[in-house]
Amino acid sequence: MKTNHIGRPRSISILLMLVVATSTAQASNSDSPLNLVWISVEDMSPWLGCYGDSTVPTPNVDRLAEEGIRYVNAFATTPVCAPSRSTLITGKWPTELGSMHMRTGKPSVAAISRHPEAYANIPNYEAVPSPEVRCFPELLRAEGRFCTNRRKTDYQFKAPETTWDHTGGKAHWRKRPAGDQPFFAVFNLTVTHESGTFAKRPRQPRAVDPHSVTVPPYYPDTPTVRDDIARTYDNIAVMDQQVGRILKEVADAGVLENTVVMFFSDHGVGLPRGKRCIYDSGTRIPLIIRWPATMNRRGIDERVVSFVDFAPTALSICGIRPPAWMSGAAFTGEYAEPGTGLAFIHADRMDAVLDRTRAVTDGRYRYVRNLMPERPRLYNVAYAANVPMMADIHALRASGDATPDQWQMVDQTKPKEEFYDTAADPHEVRNLIADPSHEARIAALRAALTAWMQDTGDLGLHSEGDMVRRHLWDGAPQKPATAPPTLAIKVIDGRRHMVIECETEGASIGWRLEGESTWHLVDGPIRLPDDAMKIEALAHRIGYLPRTNTRSVTAIVE
């Protein structure tokens, strides 16, 4: 069964199936803690067989869904990668962290060359959470888990080195020092990224005929548009093979039945009016969670879940109570809570293009508030201009021949408010904001969005330069630095121990001995090996400059 592309399936009967299992985070046939694997793919809507789209075979992801729970109302917090990842790693809203703009820090050369004035008053900065916030893998490491991240750490801030045991292109859970140590492993698959449709990029093997794809009504039906859609499916087919290899590694190691696997994408499809747009096409994601077979957790879950819930859910699956500072709630695992039934979404500066939009959905109905209605919906972003179909969209704008369903692609302004029923209008092209039959629904979602913006202290409502200097840097003229860590020897029970501290509130503190590459967490006095000669200490509050201090053990006095 095919989907209406970048939308919901035409005729899938969504039934909430009974999942027969307890909510405990322990496998029923073992007292061992569960391992957790995240498979994160990029720029992909639910264009998968298990979600009703048979355009291209996706047998590995489909098997994952058959053996697990498929969530049909899962949403990114924003339709672009780096701000979304800031939420995934912290459990906080981007609008709380100051990470809502794409990107913080040094802008791309392409962005500067096109709009140098856009960055005139924006300093080089990182998002700065409140001091209690940590990247959640650090909390897992503190409980004895081995945490790895294969390749990507794109969080709008430099993650403290204490976040992971290993990160980078060769990071893998198999490298844990103890074979039975529980692990959390992230695999970031990039083959479905927007750039996979760029003309200069090598093509993946063809898996679908461009003539066979369905073209959403908001696109012009041209050969280039069809080819870009088909090429996106070709990339999905390769992604599915990569997923199969990861699952095989886990199975071959004999740990699949003590491992929970979460599969999801970082936002919607990387095509125009998908990525960077707050509609379903940009924010509805696939989410599948496979539990060990002995736990008998299978079916479909209709609850609304958001990226802000993923960090607390990961902790809950691992049997760890999420801290109160996390803004989301665990939706499964030992510490699962009822959700609000709503997902809140934002879109702010996209590279050099400033805009400000807020939205909320209950899974079916979506209310959109355009805070800069004088701007067009489709962003003229330099990077996105590399997608070949953008030339056809610009031609459509110039022609004056757009259909009524293509208004979002061609209009140079936006309505102040929008409202959509995705069941009746899966492509969200019929704005029902003035429909009296939806007056009560609109009022309820409008009020919920206003309350969320107020309760979270939406930093995106400030000019970016003012947000950075006043709210993230507390009035300082430049990026703050973490205080250097201090080291002191203490003799405890006749043995030398090192005490490492930092004056900066909220700093993550780590240490390693000479010759080590991994930073260990400081959770108390460190017992020093008798042959230790040098120790290096690290202190890093998120958003601040990190500081290190290397000392000779023999030179440090009590």
Residues 117 and 246 in one domain: yes
Give the DSSP H/E element, type plus range, for residue 446: helix 439-455
3-class secondary structure per residue, 528-540: CCCCCCEEEEEEE
Specify whether 318 is located in the same domain as 393: no
- b/e 313-340 (16+ beta carbons within 10 angstroms → b): bbbbbbbbebeeebbbbbbbbbbbeebb
Supply the pLDDT for residue 113. Answer: 78
Pick the closest to residue 16 from 302, 252, 287 (CA basis): 302
Amino acid 225 reads V
* Shared-domain flag, residues 326 and 406: no
Domain containing residue 52: 35-342
CA distance 525 to 330: 33
pLDDT at res. 20: 33
- Residue 354, strand partner residues: none
The verdict on 365 and 330 lying in the same domain is no
The structure tokens 């979270």 sit at 456
CA–CA gap between residue 480 and residue 473 (Å, rounded): 7
SS3 content of the chain, % helix, strand, coil (to 5): 30, 20, 50
Is 498 inside any structural domain? Answer: yes
Distance CA(385)–CA(393), nearest Å, equals: 10
pLDDT at 10: 32
Q: Is 81 a catalytic residue?
A: yes
For residues 232 and 319, membership in a common domain is answered with yes
Burial bucket for residue 491 (CB in 10 Å: 0-12, 13-18, 19+): exposed
H runs (alpha helix) in 59-134? 59-66, 81-90, 94-97, 109-114
Bridge partner list, 125: none
* Cβ atoms 238, 204 nearer than 8 A: yes
Residue 368 falls inside a structural domain:
yes
Give CA–CA dist 52/187, Å, rounded: 25
Residue where one domain finishes, among candidates 422, 443, 472? 472
Residue 495 and residue 466 share a domain: no
Catalytic residue among 50, 81, 147, 502: 81
Distance CA 375, CA 207 (A): 38
How many domains are there within the chain? Answer: 3
Question: CATH number of the domain that 502 lies in?
Answer: 2.60.40
Beta bridge partners of 35: 259
Give the whole-angstrom CA distance, residue 318 versus residue 315: 5
Find where tokens 């650090």 sit.
138
Spatial distance between the Cα atoms of 313 and 23, rounded to a whole number of angstroms: 12
Element (H, E) at 464: helix 464-466
CB-based contact 80:102 (threshold 8 Å): yes
In a domain, 7, yes or no: no
The 3-state secondary structure of 135-159 reads: CHHHHHHHCCCEEEEECCCCCCCCC
What's the full length of the chain, in residues? 558
Structure confidence at residue 292 (pLDDT): 97
Q: Are residues 52 and 179 in the same domain?
A: yes
Q: Does residue 188 sit in the same domain as residue 99?
A: yes
pLDDT at 107: 78
**Is 496 a member of any domain?**
yes
Q: State whether 255 and 209 are in the same domain.
A: yes
Contact 318, 182 (CB under 8 A): yes
Residue 315 parent element (H or E)? helix 310-317
- The residues, ordered by sequence, that sit 6+ positions from 213 with a Cβ below 8 Å of its Cβ are 5, 55, 226, 229, 230, 233
- In whole angstroms, give the CA distance from residue 356 to residue 342: 20
Average pLDDT over the chain reads: 92
**Final residue before a domain boundary, out of 439, 472, 505:** 472
Domain co-membership, 100 together with 143: yes
Give the E-state strand segments of 416-476 in sequence order.
417-421
Transcribe 214-283 into DSSP letters.
Answer: PPPTTS---HHHHHHHHHHHHHHHHHHHHHHHHHHHHHHTT-GGGEEEEEEESSS-SSTTTTT--SHHHH
pLDDT in tens, the chain (558 residues): 344 434 433 333 333 333 333 334 444 345 789 999 999 999 999 999 999 999 999 999 999 999 999 999 999 999 999 999 999 999 999 999 999 999 998 777 777 777 888 888 899 999 999 999 999 999 999 999 999 999 899 999 999 999 999 999 999 999 999 889 999 999 999 999 999 999 999 999 999 999 999 999 999 999 999 999 999 999 999 999 999 999 999 999 999 999 999 999 999 999 999 999 999 999 999 999 999 999 999 999 999 999 999 999 999 999 999 999 999 999 999 999 999 999 999 999 999 999 999 999 999 999 999 999 999 999 889 899 999 999 999 999 999 999 999 999 999 999 999 999 999 999 999 999 999 999 999 999 999 999 999 999 999 999 999 999 999 999 999 999 999 999 998 989 888 899 999 999 999 999 999 889 999 999 999 998 888 789 999 999 999 999 999 988 764 444
- How distant, in Å, are the alpha carbons of 158, 191, 442, 518 from that of 153? 8, 17, 38, 16
* Same domain, yes or no: 241 and 337: yes
Omega cis (within 30) before 103 = yes
- Asked if residue 403 is part of any domain, the answer here is yes
Greatest Cα pair distance in the chain? 85
417 neighbors 368 (Cβ within 8 angstroms): yes
For residue 469, which amino acid is it? Answer: R
Residue 16 maps to a domain: no
Strand arrangement of the beta sheet that strand 284-290 belongs to: 166-168, 146-150, 183-189, 35-41, 259-265, 284-290, 69-75, 299-306
The residue to which tokens 């990077």 are assigned: 383
Q: 307: helix, coil or strand?
A: helix
Contact yes or no for 213/229 (Cβ under 8 A)? yes
324 plus 447 within the same structural domain: no
Burial class of residue 36, CB neighbours in 10 A (0-12, 13-18, 19+):
buried
